[in-house]
Structure 1
Amino acid sequence: MKTKKLIVKSSTENLSKIRDFISENASKAGFSKDDIDNMILAVDEACTNVIKHAYKYSPDGDIIIEIKQDKSAFTITIEDNGISFDPDIVPSPDLQKYYREHRVGGLGMYLMKTLMDEVKYNSVPGRFNRVSLTKKIKAT
């Protein structure tokens, strides 16, 4: 199993570094441009949530991104030490109502679950939050 790691501070300026890290590694794994774009969008949502909610826009927190790849899956894990969050309390969005109300934001979990094959969230309050985003590798 191949593992790569990137640690950045919780600043939106670092989102481009994260995108490049995901893009480069997903490309090496043989994913299509569409799959890579979807992964980047899902990771972008997760990291933006960390910056906004876990660290309340403080640029001093660490965001740890780890990519694990084997023959069948490409998993991106995003970990932080900020405020915990329970994804089970986030209701599935009513997209038509959302659109009618011209809302912005709040679709992060929905997008992650839609764009990736598997999303797992693990939190130990006061210690860490970890979200794992997995894209299956199709056998060729």
Structure 2
Amino acid sequence: MDTAASVAHLMGFGPDRIEDLKTAISEACINAMEHGNKLDETLSVSIILCMDADSLEVRVVDTGDGPKGHTARPDIDKKMHEEEAARGMGMFLIESLVDEVEWISSPPLGSYARMIIRLHPASDSTQAQES
């Protein structure tokens, strides 16, 4: 995560966006270890960074088959009132923190989460035009 944060900083990302990126990568790594690699300590999780002029792509790669379909959006109120388990928010959190995300399965090589964070997200340019 520190490497991704350093690259994002050098690209000009602000502190809040860098924290979003670090959290998204952390969540993707946790999912990769738990679900992809089934907590097998002999298997690795790789992080691949690709950048262009205005975005940073991060791939978190594991040895699993990838998620089976898309999980339901968590009910935050139920989780806050402990009516549902606190776990199960990783994919939702990742989707909330980055500009684009997809989960790609490519057996037998494994699977990966592909996340893109943009230096100037569409919502930022819209807000700038409205000001």
Q: What TM-score, normalized by structure 2, do the two folds share?
A: 0.83
Q: Which runs of 4+ in 1 moved over 4 A?
A: none
Is 1:94 aligned to 2:75, yes or no?
yes
| SS at 1:133 equivalent | strand
Question: Counterpart of 1:95 in structure 2: which amino acid?
Answer: I
Q: Which has the higher strand share?
A: 1
Tell me how far apart the structure 1 counterparts of residues 56 and 13 of structure 2 sit (CA, whole Å). 10
Cα deviation digits, residues 61-106 of structure 1 (max 9, x gap): 1212111111121111111112432251x10111111111163221
Q: Which residue of 2 aligns with 1:53?
A: 35
8 Å contact kept, 1:61–1:82: no
Question: Counterpart of 1:127 in structure 2: which amino acid?
Answer: L
Max Rg structure: 2
Tell me how far apart the structure 2 counterparts of residues 39 and 118 of structure 1 sit (CA, whole Å). 12
Q: What TM-score, normalized by structure 1, do the two folds share?
A: 0.78
Q: Which residue of 2 aligns with 1:62?
A: 44
Tell me how far apart the structure 2 counterparts of residues 20 and 72 of structure 1 sit (CA, whole Å). 19
**CA distance 1:87–1:28, change in 2 (3 Å):** farther
2:6 to 24, 27, 45: 24
Tell me how far apart the structure 1 counterparts of residues 37 and 111 of structure 2 sit (CA, whole Å). 11
Which moves more between the two structures, 43-52 or 56-65? 56-65
Question: Counterpart of 1:93 in structure 2: which amino acid?
Answer: P
Cα deviation digits, residues 41-60 of structure 1 (max 9, x gap): 00100000111111121111
Tell me how far apart the structure 1 counterparts of residues 10 and 41 of structure 2 sit (CA, whole Å). 30
Aligned residues: 121
| SS at 1:123 equivalent | strand
Q: Which residue of 2 aligns with 1:112?
A: 94
